[in-house]
Structure 1
């Protein structure tokens, strides 16, 4: 039976999902004090995966569910009406509303945008609203409400931070490509030369690029979010500083079925690898790891080649398809992303931010003050609906 502990506490699904986690009565109280943050893109409006996520959340009773979304003005009304069809205490944050963009500009925080910025905009208000914050994506077609309970369970035991991990096996093949073929070999290459605690910490997570985590409100206020795809890695660096090995856990969430991203281009895994590389290398440098950039890419590639041998054997053992040439091609593409991190454009910790969480809430919901047209009005709200009521 697989119950090996890592350098961080590892909570396994030893019952294969047949029961909810047991936290001696404290877990449901933790749910009551939790704000769930579910970032979405405009294309996820009414998507089957996002619909499942929100339907599952109807069985919980969290303090609030914040949905930060980036969408054109002509679509935000439709998005609101769809969210209001769920019996969940949802608060929509329109992250690219004119008022939010003005607020960021006045605070000196204009710049690149993406998932990291959208989640950051929700983290400040979420940490003010609840004792705990759970963040997860909206693209898991296998999502269950118990994922929130599982992520929260370590916090009910006294941990400060928990990270989800899960199997990425779909359609008869291995996924989780950016983690397997880039993050893991890069950490292995660095770890072969350095024994710094941060390297051990980053290497202890079974799926470091998972979008699912839970944090105390205090930790959430100390996250310096990269603006786009480096959010997961940047979060681990700040969790190391705030929670450390003893305050961190990882939780088995079973098997997830996700939408898949193409490899090519800036919107594909190639583009994502550059941002992940920059944030991962920044996390290491900031904590005293001296990196030899002249040889790092080649050492990463060699570490990846060794891992590919293991992946090939594991796939064959489980009767899965495995394209060795394609895996090596992806490894080569991702290692080309390795370079010095460049300018630090992360957002500030909320404890240091030059704006107030309530100001973000007000700016991201202009319909509450009549600043958008009737298409984004409240006429379709159900009488018992709790959206935007808090």
Structure 2
């Protein structure tokens, strides 16, 4: 569409379709690569996951596919394994909320670590990274509800990381969010909240590296990203709707901007969230938690926070910028002959604006958010946790030990030595 570059290296889609599956497979075989898909059991009844499976079935060089599954029973886990049977690479279905996983993670409280939840995408991503990072050098993440999934998605997102000469450690996707049924613009949380919010904050605080960094991403809330193993192992994982912004904050903390890229995946559609009738519902709940994550990032990276007397300025600026964006998106939609409901977009901006004051005040009361610790932190005190998590997340079978039968977790330091685990048997059923 264009060829402009900025703070973050941008990989455009020039519409030429220059994909090379054979070369991509060769690169995957040369660099062990895992894909991680956090997933609810309900996704197996929808067509999107079947499409994803069909596309991924061509990636014979993939090292492993990890399905971080929230399920109600071991029968559900078995059904998920059956769904992915016959893939040309190992598929590991990891039961994130299974009783053995909960028992294992509960045992971490003895080290002063709370890693028991809350349940959600962040918790699933954190567990999935622990599993995927055991052997993979590159890890890519996709959601399970992408209705437009195509071969270009994994190839374009992973290739910048597979060739070390590019010097890239983190890749974030961006795309055009359009409804497949109506062709209407989607992505309101990004278009009507995050974009205007960052612009308003930049006007209040002036130029700041962290704000410029966030604004450099064309779709900061994109849930599709990939990273090298050394980076993935050192990221704290947020547990709420601030996951994507929170991960960008973590990447900013660890990686120079020259080692970050964003890639255009073209047209994109997945499940759409309703605005919600109150701040605790739908997109309003999401926006409130994103607000806290953005402002917390300013504290952490810039040492700045909003004073109480600046809240009215933020409210006025956000509304003005949000209304300007509504007009701009309306023009964009009109020329592209897309349906556009300006009234509903204006109402969304008004609803988001009401979240600013209570969000800022709430942050002042509770400035520290719950984040799951990085895997490098965990392994510094209990270096067997990854293997134990893989065992716990496997579907229970007659030969799968329960936690009290497993070797005791290996802790570094402490007053008494811990018994060492025996060499691992097959650590979990892997679908071939």
Per the TM superposition, whether the score is higher than 0.5 is yes
SS of 1:129's partner is coil
Q: TM-score, normalised by structure 1?
A: 0.89
Match of 2:146 in 1: 140
Between 1:57-66 and 1:338-347, the stretch displaced more is: 338-347
Residue pairs, 1:6-17, within 5 angstroms: 6-14=6-14, 16=15
Question: Does the C-alpha gap of structure 1 residues 367 and 325 become closer, same or farther in structure 2, counting only changes over 3 Å?
Answer: same
After TM superposition, list the pairs within 5 Å mapping 1:114-125 onto structure 2: 114-125=120-131
Q: For residues 44 and 21 of structure 2, what CA distance do their matches in structure 1 show?
A: 34
> 1:46·1:82 contact (CA, 8 Å) conserved in 2?
no
Superposition deviation, residue 369 in structure 1: 5.3
Aligned residues: 375
Please report the TM-score for the alignment, with normalisation by the length of structure 2.
0.81
Pair 233,21 (structure 1): closer, same or farther in 2 beyond 3 Å: farther
* TM-aligned CA deviation for residue 328 of structure 1: 1.4
Residue 42 (structure 1) aligned with residue 41 (structure 2): yes
- Verify the 8 A CA contact 2:395 2:429 in the aligned structure 1: no
Q: 1 CA distance for matches of 2:399 and 2:343? A: 56
Compute the displacement of 1:46 (Å). 3.8
1:357 aligns with 2:386: yes
C-alpha displacement of 1:22: 10
Using the alignment, how far apart are the partners of 1:88 and 1:368 within structure 2? Answer: 22
| Structure of larger gyration radius | 2
1:328-386 CA-to-partner distances (Å, cap 9, x unmatched) read 111222233332443320100111025521111111114255569xxxxxxxxxxxxx9
Counterparts of 1:29 and 1:3, CA distance in 2 = 26
Cα–Cα, structure 1 residues 28 and 253, in superposed 2: closer, same or farther, change >3 Å?
farther
TM-superposed deviation, 1:21: 6.7
Write the distance in 2 (CA, Å) between the matches of 1:28 and 1:161. Answer: 21
Partners of 1:35 and 1:240 in 2: CA distance: 23
- How many angstroms apart in 1 are the aligned matches of 2:233 and 2:56? 24
* Matching residue of 2:134: 128
Q: 2:348 aligns with which of 324, 330, 337?
A: 330
- Mapping 1:1-390, distance limit 5 Å: 2-14=2-14, 16=15, 18-20=17-19, 28-30=26-28, 32-60=31-59, 61-73=61-73, 74-84=75-85, 86-108=87-109, 109-155=115-161, 156=163, 157-170=166-179, 171-192=182-203, 193-264=205-276, 266=280, 268-292=282-306, 294-295=311-312, 296-338=314-356, 339-340=359-360, 341=363, 342=366, 343-353=368-378, 355=382, 356-368=385-397, 370=399, 388=430
| Alignment check: 8 A CA contact 1:208 1:232 kept | yes
> In the aligned structure 2, how far is the partner of 1:388 from the partner of 1:368?
13
In structure 2, the CA distance between the partners of 1:243 and 1:172, relative to structure 1 (3 Å rule), is same
Paired residue for 2:406?
none
Counterpart CA distance in 2 for 1:123 and 1:369 is 27
Distance 2:184 2:152 in 1: 26
- Flag the structure with more relative contact order, 1 or 2, with Cα contacts below 8 A and sequence separation at least 6: 1
2 CA distance for matches of 1:226 and 1:146? 28
How far apart, CA to CA, are the structure 1 residues paired with 2:133 and 2:176?
A: 30
Unaligned 5+ residue runs, structure 2?
A: 110-114, 402-427
Counterparts in 2 of 1:387 and 1:51: CA distance versus 1, 3 Å: farther
Q: CA deviation at 1:250?
A: 0.4
Preserved CA contact (<8 Å) 1:17 1:254: no
CA offset at residue 306 of structure 1?
A: 1.5
Judge conservation of contact 1:262–1:268 (CA < 8 Å) in 2: yes
In structure 2, C-alpha distance between the alignment counterparts of 1:337 and 1:222, rounded to whole Å: 32
Which SS does the other structure have where 1:37 is aligned?
A: strand
